[in-house]
Amino acid sequence: MSLTSTEGATMSAPTLNGVKLDSMTGRCFLLDTNVLLHDANALEVFDEHNIILTVDVLEELDHFKKDKSELGRNARHVIRKIDELRSNGALKDGVLLPGGGMLFVLVDNYVKYLPAGMDGSIPDNRILATGLYLIENKIDLTFITKDINARVKGDALGLRSEDLKSQKINFDELYTGWAEIQCNPEIIEKFYQGEEVQFDGEYYPNQFALLRDNNNPKHTAMGIFQSDSKTLEKLKHSESHPWGLSALNMEQHYAIELLQRPDIELVTMLGQAGTGKTLLALAVGLQKVVEEKKFRRLMVSRPIMPLGKDIGYLPGTKEEKMETWMEPIVDNLQFLVDPQLEQSSDKVNYLFDSGVIEVEAVTYIRGRSLPQLYILIDEAQNLTPHEIKTVVSRAGKNSKVILAGDAYQIDNPYLDASSNGLTYVIDRFKGQPSFGHVTLAKSERSELASLAAKLL
């Protein structure tokens, strides 16, 4: 069996571990480059199934390997992993993967399989062409890519195309951090009197509960489950006003409770614009650092750009480069230190100049050890699960990490509500005694902002 390329040269059909394509059995996954850049361990998540890479993928990995961002680190990791696997045999014939499947690298050109209207000079199209060649030879193939448009093109070509399913969660069933429990009025009275109240059912440590009277819906009580996930206790900080800020709704009360508790080391807050995530986190942070001296300083960080790009290309010092990206944080700080905004700029500058607040780019947190810090990562929905792991794993002894974001406002083209780092952490950490989460639903910024978030 032989094929003729578009240049007219004759080439033999590639074999997969010595088996001709027309007799190959088992599932195969053709990976796009962005899958490996998104998850450096993607070669290990397909269990006993086979993985196919094209030479275009290797070329693109080579292009990214010098990048100083998370993409570059992932590219270097994948290249090293493939190099290690070469000790198991020749890549063109297939090498054994840890899960039991095989990894194959195909180097031939299959652009002749593309429709006349598709540009064969585009790497993504050449990868799709390889997929078309494989399915024509009866391979049970799935094309895996983080690129929505590539999935659309693959589907239009008749190629089964999917997103990477590892690290994806069901966003519709995402843990909200609280539950409403219908109960008899006697239970609520018992709870208010300080007696121990227990509930059967699936609840998590630090999950909130709104007790509602079966007979009188307005008769309610707010509580939080202890580490045994059965016993409900009163909120300890429901009446606190960190840095003069008051909670305006139930979810904000829950958020303040989580932010104030010293035993909860990781807090996540999910909500649309205007729900108060950043403002509440900063208010409690200033209270803990300035007034109570519980932490050395307040560190604030945001993803600089989609895909975790570096800020090195911007002019000026690192602080000057960060100014534009930190403006939303500064706006909240100005409101907290001076609601009338008369001398807010000078007061905020003092907080930075005195070292009370430190600003750091997410990309520079890697490698640091951060003990006794109150760390706020804003816009965390723009981070990948691996980037989130990098940030949280930097937290040192007696530090507290807050991740805040809106899963519906994602700028990273390869992330969505189900695959971003923030929702991944919420799903994986629920049930841990040192973790707390709350989803904030009501916008308190203004009536106009609330209406816009609802209607637009």
By CB neighbour count within 10 A (0-12 exposed, 13-18 middle, 19+ buried), where does 283 fall?
A: buried
Class of the CATH-defined domain 246-455? alpha beta
Sign of CA dihedral 363, 368, 369, 373: negative
Has residue 264 got a pLDDT over 70?
A: yes
Per-residue model confidence as pLDDT tens digits over 163-185: 999 888 999 999 999 999 999 99
Structure tokens of 230?
A: 């059965």
- At 12 the pLDDT is 52
345-361 pLDDT, tens digit each: 888 999 999 999 998 88
In the Cβ-directed half-sphere of 178, how many Cα atoms lie within 13 Å?
A: 25
Residue scoring higher pLDDT (447 or 25):
447
Q: What is the pLDDT of residues 365-419, one digit of tens each?
A: 877 889 999 999 999 999 999 889 989 998 999 999 999 999 999 988 889 999 9
Instruction: Give the mean pLDDT of the chain.
Output: 88
Length of the chain: 456
The pLDDT value given to residue 366: 74
What burial class does residue 203 get, using C-beta atoms within 10 Å of its C-beta: 0-12 exposed, 13-18 middle, 19+ buried?
buried
pLDDT at 9 > cutoff 50? no
Three-state secondary structure call for residue 90 = coil
Rounded mean pLDDT of 147-151? Answer: 96
DSSP 289: I
Question: Is 200 within 8 Å of 168 (Cβ atoms)?
Answer: no
- Domain boundaries, given as residue ranges, for the chain: 2-162, 246-455
Calculate mean pLDDT across residues 32-45: 95
Domain 2-162 and domain 246-455, same fold? Reply is yes
- What pLDDT is recorded for position 342? 76
CA gap 231, 199 in Å, rounded: 7
pTM of the model: 0.85
Q: Which tens digit of pLDDT belongs to each residue from 64-113?
A: 999 877 889 999 999 999 999 999 889 988 899 988 899 999 999 999 99
- Can you tell me the distance from the alpha carbon of 62 to that of 197, in angstroms, rounded to the nearest whole number? 60
What's the rounded mean pLDDT across residues 203-208?
96
Q: What CATH class is the domain 2-162? A: alpha beta
Q: Read off the pLDDT of residues 206-223 as tens digits, 9 standing for 90 and up.
A: 999 999 999 999 999 999
